Chain A
Amino acid sequence: MTTATLKAGAVRQVNGKKTLSFALLGAVLAYFVYIFFTFDIASLGQRASLENARTLVADSYSYKTHITKSNRGAGTLTASIEGEKKGRYPEGSYPDWVEIDGTDAFVTLADNSVVELAGKVVYYDVPDYGAIKVTTRNSGIDLELPTAEAPEFISASRNRVAITVPGGRINVTKAKTEIFRYFTGWEMFFFTLDSPFYGKSPAQLAYLASSAPRIDPNTSNLALMWDGFWNNAMWRHSDVAWAIVETILMAFLGTIGAALIALPLAFLSAQNFTRNMVARFSMRRIFDFLRGVDGLIWTIILSRAFGPGPLTGALAILLTDTGTFGKMFSETLENVDDKQIEGIRSTGAKPIQRYRFGVIPQITPVFISQVLYNLESNTRSATIIGAIVGGGIGLLLTQAIITGKDWEEVSYYIVLIVLMVMMMDSLSGWLRSKLIGNKDS
């Protein structure tokens, strides 16, 4: 063979590889083009609702307080956070940016402009624009503006006037006048309005908890404080904590239960432990079946029998994982070193002792690391399965998203889920290094 033919061969090989890699690149590109058209990504821009995105982002870090004046009957004025019953201020009390003067009310918005509610008339001097007067009559709503045409921030019709300014929003209908003012933060995260601790600073709270006279003579302030926080009607901290516990419980029961069931079954499907072809073959098919019937289908079947709840989720994880573990453990068992077993046998050990001292020590590291890995990944699955079976934090999350107005709760749950998964991740990493020793750390 001459150098020339060698070189020609090498060039051919390099060119071949080059063509192959370009062909692969082309195939990937072509696939993405296909996806672009089948998923109709071009029209995504029109379908997307920016309005929804804006509320989502704004709501996740801010909240609004509604000041509502009825335009019918006695014309009562109420204040409530997010317009919810749970967040309503007690009758006759208002936040300090609402001033009451006889039958008139003066509401200060975030940019310090003031809206005056006088009977069925709303006066508002819009900064950089001019004074507006909105009058509600039985026939409709009259709007008086300083300019001939309504500016962009006002949308007006016979039955409805909406004014959106940087400091807040004003909605006038024949039934009621509403003023919204936005605030940063999560409202009433610790205490609701009916709690004596609402609106207190951390220093005041610390003082109340430690040395102040008892607010309720029957319990200590600290216990009262905890009760107010734990049973917060708006954020439902106790329910959320239970949901997290349920989710972790599903993952724990499912994973560990599956591992304990799969271990003995794996011996039955490993070639070097079970000589019986039929037993081995049928065991393997059972594992394949458990894995192939996806967690989703198991979840549906089980929730029909057991109803919604964490147990259903745990059993669904258990069934799927028994298949996964069974396959994995039997592969590990087939790769065990026979020498150790023979060594044990040479001392006259019985079969049980051979398994206990010859096999188990060899497979323990694989066993533990696999179980811990699945425990972490199943915490994530448990969130999803919870959304389907109706248990755990997944359920709370889907409920909050479906209601579509409590986005601050959605972001709270998301933060909790991420923290929960990261905690399980570090816990499983820590356990792994404790139990089998980790070379990396």
Chain B
Amino acid sequence: MSPSALDTRASYLAQTHRKRLYSGIMLVLLVAMLCGGFITADERNAGGFWDGLPHVLDFPAEVLGEAAQKITLLPAHLVAFFPSLVETINIAAAATLAGAIAAVFLALLSTRGLARWPRMIPVFRRMSDIMRAIPEIVIALVLIFILGGGPVPAMIAIAFHTVGALGKLFSEVTENADLKPVEGLGSVGASWMQRMWLGVIPQVSPNFISYALLRFEINIRASAILGFVGAGGIGYDLRNAISWGQGKYDEAAAIFILLFLAIVAVDQLSSLLRNKLVGDTK
């Protein structure tokens, strides 16, 4: 071996060692942060982790026990709470639909080469960033104060966040869209709306719908949680069932079952549809 090759080998090995050392340090740092964080969180928690651990299953056991005692009532509860489940799903669906439609415009307006007003691109991008950053609960709580309880505040809150979240994902898709159809349509005098509707949307709609379905899954969970803080739907019933304690756990069990089934069903359905649309076989 010539000296130069040896040098190369030595410096390569040194580089690898350094890289590994850095990775090792990073890993140790991460673990240290995890441990420190865990201890801090444990100290600031009302009940300690090790004290609570044996009791994790107490509540599920209590719920299941009570539900088992009143098993005959379960079908009636399932029927009784079904409308609330429908409301929760409706909140998510309407919010996803409205949010997705607005997000399409936001994405097109913030994509280079497609924007109606190219100078406004940074404005629309910032807008989508801010809409994405505001958690649903903030808007929902403020709107509940103004509009009163019910599904509408939750719907608006989720839709608002959806616009930002989907706007970003959609614009990633439109950035990769083929501009030739748009130019072709432009050359025959098509307006901006026509160029987008006929030139861009057909290219990107499978991806758009796939992302919107993914968002729908997320939004159902969000809708259930917002119900819990007072925005109607099955979350609200759940809070009543568990907070009134004594004798209501059979209802809580029914709501758990409904929520679980709904989430799993929507997950399965949407992943089936998405696979069909985007055509990957995962």
Chain A positions within 8 Å of B, measured between CB atoms, are: 28, 31-32, 35, 38-41, 44, 47-49, 52-53, 56, 242, 246, 249-250, 252-253, 256-257, 260, 288, 291-297, 300-302, 304-312, 314, 331, 335, 380-381, 383-384, 387-388, 390-391, 394, 397-398, 401, 404, 410, 414, 417-418, 421-422, 425
Chain A nearest CB from B264 CB (Å) reads: 4
* Other A-B pairs, 12, CB within 8 Å; known A39-B151, A292-B267, A309-B47: A49-B147, A246-B41, A293-B256, A294-B225, A294-B260, A305-B47, A307-B52, A314-B38, A314-B41, A387-B229, A410-B142, A417-B134
The 5 closest A-B pairs by CB, nearest first: A309-B45, A307-B46, A307-B47, A311-B45, A306-B52
What 1/0 flags go to B117-141 for Cβ under 8 Å of A?
Answer: 0000000000001101111111001
A384 to B148, alpha carbons, bound, how many Å?
19
Write 23 A-B pairs (CB below 8 A) sorted by A numbering.
A39-B90, A44-B152, A48-B147, A260-B34, A294-B259, A294-B260, A295-B221, A296-B225, A296-B228, A305-B47, A306-B45, A308-B46, A309-B41, A310-B41, A311-B38, A314-B37, A384-B135, A384-B137, A391-B44, A394-B137, A397-B137, A398-B229, A401-B142
A59 CB, min distance to chain B CBs, angstroms = 11
The proximity string for B residues 25-61 relative to A, scoring 1 for CB distances below 8 Å and 0 otherwise, is: 0000010011001101110111111001101101110
A47 CA to B143 CA in the complex, in Å?
Answer: 12
Cα separation A302 to B242 with both chains bound (whole Å): 13
A41: chain B residues within 8 A (beta carbon): 152
A295 near B147 with CB under 8 A, answer: no
Residue of A nearest to B87 (CB): A38
Question: Contact at A56–B47, with CB atoms within 8 Å?
Answer: no
B52-77 with Cβ < 8 A to chain A: 52-53, 55-56, 58-60
Q: Are B94 and A35 in contact (CB under 8 A)?
A: yes
Q: Write the nearest CB–CB distance from B202 to chain A, whole angstroms.
A: 9
| Given known contacts A56-B142, A246-B41, A306-B45, A418 and B52 CB-to-CB distance under 8 angstroms | no
Contact of A49 with B148 in the complex, beta carbons under 8 Å: yes
A295–B225 CB distance below 8 A: yes
A39 in contact with B150 (CB, 8 Å): yes
Chain B proximity of A70: nearest CB distance (Å): 32
Contact (Cβ within 8 A) B135 A383: yes
Q: Is B145 an interface residue (CB 8 A)?
A: yes
Most interface-central of B45, B97, B136, B229 (chain A CB within 10 A): B45
The answer on a CB contact under 8 Å between A383 and B137 is yes
B133 near A256 with CB under 8 A, answer: no
Partner of B56, one of A44, A249, A300, A305: A305
- Chain B residues with CB under 8 A of A404: 145
Please classify the interface of chain A as helix (H, G, I), strand (E, B), loop, or mixed, using the class held by over half of its residues.
helix
CA distance A53 to B41 in the complex (A): 37
Within 8 Å by CB of A421, from B47, B135, B228, lies: B135
Q: Contact: B228 with A304, CB < 8 Å?
A: no
Is B150 in contact with A311, judged by CB distance below 8 angstroms? no
Known: A296-B225, A311-B44, A388-B229. A253 touches B37 (CB 8 A): yes
Residues of A within 8 A of B146 (CB): 48-49, 52-53, 56
Query: How far is B134's CA from A383's CA once the two chains are assembled, in angstroms?
Result: 10
Q: In the docked arrangement, what's the CA distance between A253 and B98, Å?
A: 34
- Partner of B155 from A39, A307, A398 at Cβ < 8 Å: A39
User: Do the beta carbons of A388 and B228 come within 8 Å of each other?
Assistant: yes
| In-complex Cβ contact of A417 among B33, B138, B267 (8 A) | B138
CA–CA, A323 to B86, complex, Å?
Answer: 25
Alpha-carbon distance between A307 and B50 when the two chains are bound, in angstroms: 12
B145 near A401 (CB under 8 angstroms)?
yes
Q: A310 and B93 in contact (CB under 8 A), knowing A294-B259, A301-B56, A331-B282?
A: no
Closest CB in chain B relative to A28 CB, distance in Å: 6
Do A397 and B56 contact each other (CB < 8 Å), given the known contacts A306-B49, A417-B134? no
Q: How far is the CB of B138 from chain A (nearest CB, A)?
A: 5
Residue B263, interface by CB 8 Å:
yes
Task: Report if A310-B155 is in contact (Cβ < 8 Å); known contacts: A302-B56, A421-B135.
Answer: no
Contact indicator B147/A256 (Cβ below 8 Å): no
Are the CB atoms of B136 and A384 closer together than 8 Å? yes
CB distance from B170 to the nearest CB of A (A): 16
B134 touches A305 (CB 8 A): no
Q: With contacts A31-B93, A305-B55, A401-B142 known, is A296 near B224, CB below 8 A?
A: yes
B235 part of interface (Cβ distance < 8 Å): yes
Find A250's partner among B41, B55, B263 (CB 8 Å cutoff). B41
By the criterion CB–CB under 8 Å, are A31 and B47 in contact? Answer: no
B130 cross-chain contacts in A, Cβ below 8 A? 418, 422
Residue in chain A with minimal CB distance to B256: A297
Q: Point out the residues of chain A lying under 8 angstroms from B47, CB to CB.
A: 305-307, 309
CB-based contact A418/B94 at 8 Å: no
Given A417-B134, A418-B130, decide whether A32 and B148 contact each other with a Cβ distance below 8 A: no
Q: Is the CB of B133 within 8 A of A422?
A: yes
Cα A142 to Cα B233 in complex, Å, equals 51
Query: How many Å lie between the Cα of A421 and that of B40 in the bound state?
Result: 21
Q: Which residues of B contact A242 (CB under 8 A)?
A: 44
Collect the chain B residues with CB atoms within 8 Å of residue A252's CB. 33, 37
**A306 to B142 Cα, complex, angstroms:** 29
Give the residues in chain B near A49, CB-CB below 8 Å.
Answer: 146-148
